[in-house]
Structure 1
């Protein structure tokens, strides 16, 4: 099966700054809107159905979010969905007051909304394009865009740059923004060189190194594209004068205008349905379409060593994202999930499910060869622990324990993942690595099982080592 870009294109509507939240096996997409944020739903990243309005701007004349709902990005943590969104004050004539544009948060218990805006913004200066990044230890950072004296471009011309601040919690910043990238070259602005942009941050971590992807150039024409910078730390120590982040090749684009797309950029990276493959979701104009409406596109993201490769925009048909070996994402009963898992015997695999423990302990097999050889896990919500025991030849040979977060909510769905490659077996909860085990099972085929609890979005994908 295949698809063509753009994947969302509604005439008369701008789809700028798309962001995707993956939850319980489905995808939810949001984009910029004047006074409302629309939400779309998909099972495969390419076929989308509009589901309504997730967020409305405030009608309160004293509220910070009256108009210009830009660049929403949504995460799920512990049963709550957090939408980080830019908004502006409204002028008397109904236009946006660009001088008072800030980032704030809205929350919901459902990815479809409705989201409720916080009473106060997160930032107290001109700011847009918020991106929450969760590090391996569970610490959150907010990368976002500002426009001030520190972010001027070449020749001191006005510009915007990306900064980062540590989050005290998911609704509070520490108040110490630190420089990440700012405009340095003439090609990072408009053709008149009267304004420069480094914006739209998205951050990944690989082999201990941080990669911040960003967009540069004028968002309204063919100068716009995607770039990246790297650092050994998410946040340096020198504030707005920090230079920890270095642009790849000094600032060379990895996604740019071609015959299939004009001004590609402001993106997110999301895992495909198999839980392994990465995809970039971004916006761009249709070449030859003389309207200010950006369309949503999906393309492959791959690592070439420590370099990011993005699939160029194409007019051709593109293969749809791959499904997992076992796809139990939407099976309603645990018995059905386990029946499918029992038929999936692999030596190297990626397993994930969204697990809702409830009040009682839940357990399962992270790897099961036979009744005498297996790796068992048990999650205790009351003690907030994850315990794992390794059994070989009917004997327990080792056991391990990890502490879950102190605010772990047993009534929420939590992303639970097991990655087995040879003798290595790693377990993650909510994208934080809890345990890294070495076993003697090597290349023996085995399966995963879930004994109890409620599950959704369950998959197993073979890893080709």
Structure 2
């Protein structure tokens, strides 16, 4: 009896092994085993790596990120940081592209270094930096805050100043775009959105800087009236798309389109295509700006800010968006009300970008583990 039971078990074991072997062979033959990329926002969870306005570039098999270093609002910050990652998940400090502690006393751009961006155009890396001159009379450098252009042969630098300031007025959040014919354009913010053509080699604007969209533009929706900033331009199917951010109800991303890189621009959607909104966001600004009585519903997420985005090549080879994700201290149930130290600072957030029917789409900001298939 024992021998028969043993024989049955042995035969059963052999059948299981055979089935597993056949399944493995079928999987290899049909290439059904597919790698995936898993991520959970915020990607960074570190007060030292914390930045606002993240912009990511993929170079070779690495990703590099820059952004606005802390402190943001209270005066000079340490400069322009560069982070690096091998997998888009684990990030580390690489270097300072501009180290404020090493700038001479008479440096005209020793302010707060807001929203730096790096663009690879004409076989060079171009760094736009927004800053001004800090003085005793102007400790935040706002009266001279404008755009400075640097270039380098490698994304890691060293970067040399090409020209600046590029405009003779307050401008911020500069970005660059190269068209198919090699023409290059500068877009920026400053109580609205501005545009101009630029010659990168000289760093000089070849057309006057022109304000083409005001935050209180007649006929435009009320979610823009607090402020619009952070433009980023991409071309798709002969249409120019401009992503921009607004901080009226939270930090949301709107989308414009045009048949020309210099406009006219029009909204793709009457509502933001991405972001978070909370009624308690920056209440003092809402009151002073007169838009504290706007009617809207809070998004059900743990964030108070998810904006100032830029696009980059993600781990699946497709377009992704990057921006800063800032936790909401009054986040709704079921999120923990106990803050971790890193949650008091903006952190990196990423999401896939989709294009269909002549529009770009970004799913709502996520906070749980996400899985994205990688290309075979």
- Structure-2-length-normalised TM-score: 0.72
Unaligned runs of 5+ in 1: 147-159, 190-195, 237-243, 326-465
Instruction: Measure, in 2, the Cα distance between the counterparts of 1:144 and 1:246.
Output: 17
Instruction: Measure, in 1, the Cα distance between the counterparts of 2:49 and 2:234.
Output: 30
- Of 115, 140, 165, the match for 2:196: 165
Residue of structure 2 in register with 1:120 after alignment: 164
- Of 59, 63, 66, the match for 1:27: 63
Instruction: Measure, in 1, the Cα distance between the counterparts of 2:326 and 2:57.
Output: 23
Choose between structure 1 and 2 for higher RCO, CA contacts under 8 A separated by at least 6 residues: 2
Residue of structure 2 in register with 1:367 after alignment: none
Is 1:188 paired with 2:224? Answer: yes
Q: CA deviation at 1:266?
A: 0.4
- Of 145, 149, 163, the match for 1:101: 145
Q: CA deviation at 1:21?
A: 1.9
Q: CA deviation at 1:225?
A: 0.5
Comparing both structures, which one devotes a greater share of its residues to helix? 2
**Cα gap change, 1:226 to 1:119, in 2 (>3 Å):** closer
Give aligned pairs, total: 293
Instruction: Measure, in 1, the Cα distance between the counterparts of 2:121 and 2:265.
Output: 28
> Does structure 1 retain, via aligned residues, the 8 Å contact 2:167–2:209?
no
Instruction: Measure, in 1, the Cα distance between the counterparts of 2:274 and 2:304.
Output: 11
Q: CA deviation at 1:315?
A: 2.0
Q: CA deviation at 1:298?
A: 0.5
> Does structure 1 retain, via aligned residues, the 8 Å contact 2:127–2:150?
yes
Unaligned runs of 5+ in 2: 1-36, 70-76, 277-298, 330-338
Instruction: Measure, in 1, the Cα distance between the counterparts of 2:103 and 2:112.
Output: 13
- Give 1 or 2 for the bigger CA radius of gyration: 2
Q: CA deviation at 1:217?
A: 1.9
**Cα gap change, 1:316 to 1:186, in 2 (>3 Å):** same
**Root mean square deviation of aligned Cα:** 2.3
1:267-278 mapped onto 2 (5 Å cutoff): 267-275=309-317, 277-278=318-319
> Does structure 2 retain, via aligned residues, the 8 Å contact 1:199–1:216?
yes
Comparing both structures, which one devotes a greater share of its residues to strand? 1
Instruction: Measure, in 2, the Cα distance between the counterparts of 1:25 and 1:166.
Output: 32
Instruction: Measure, in 1, the Cα distance between the counterparts of 2:259 and 2:365.
Output: 31
Instruction: Measure, in 2, the Cα distance between the counterparts of 1:78 and 1:234.
Output: 18
Q: CA deviation at 1:93?
A: 7.5
**Cα gap change, 1:122 to 1:94, in 2 (>3 Å):** closer
Residue of structure 2 in register with 1:265 after alignment: 307
Q: CA deviation at 1:79?
A: 4.6
> Does structure 2 retain, via aligned residues, the 8 Å contact 1:55–1:114?
no
1:39-78 mapped onto 2 (5 Å cutoff): 39-57=82-100, 59-78=103-122
- Of 43, 52, 70, the match for 1:16: 52
> Does structure 2 retain, via aligned residues, the 8 Å contact 1:102–1:125?
yes
Secondary structure in structure 1 of the residue aligned to 2:172: strand
Secondary structure in structure 2 of the residue aligned to 1:99: coil
Is 1:246 paired with 2:266? Answer: yes
Secondary structure in structure 1 of the residue aligned to 2:46: coil
- Structure-1-length-normalised TM-score: 0.59
> Does structure 2 retain, via aligned residues, the 8 Å contact 1:35–1:66?
no
Q: CA deviation at 1:15?
A: 0.9
Instruction: Measure, in 1, the Cα distance between the counterparts of 2:267 and 2:47.
Output: 36
Q: CA deviation at 1:187?
A: 2.6
> Does structure 2 retain, via aligned residues, the 8 Å contact 1:7–1:296?
yes
Instruction: Measure, in 1, the Cα distance between the counterparts of 2:87 and 2:212.
Output: 33
> Does structure 2 retain, via aligned residues, the 8 Å contact 1:102–1:123?
yes
Q: CA deviation at 1:10?
A: 1.7
- Of 318, 321, 325, the match for 1:280: 321
1:125-204 mapped onto 2 (5 Å cutoff): 125-146=169-190, 160-170=191-201, 171-184=203-216, 185-189=221-225, 196-204=226-234
Q: CA deviation at 1:323?
A: 4.1
Is 1:255 paired with 2:274? Answer: yes
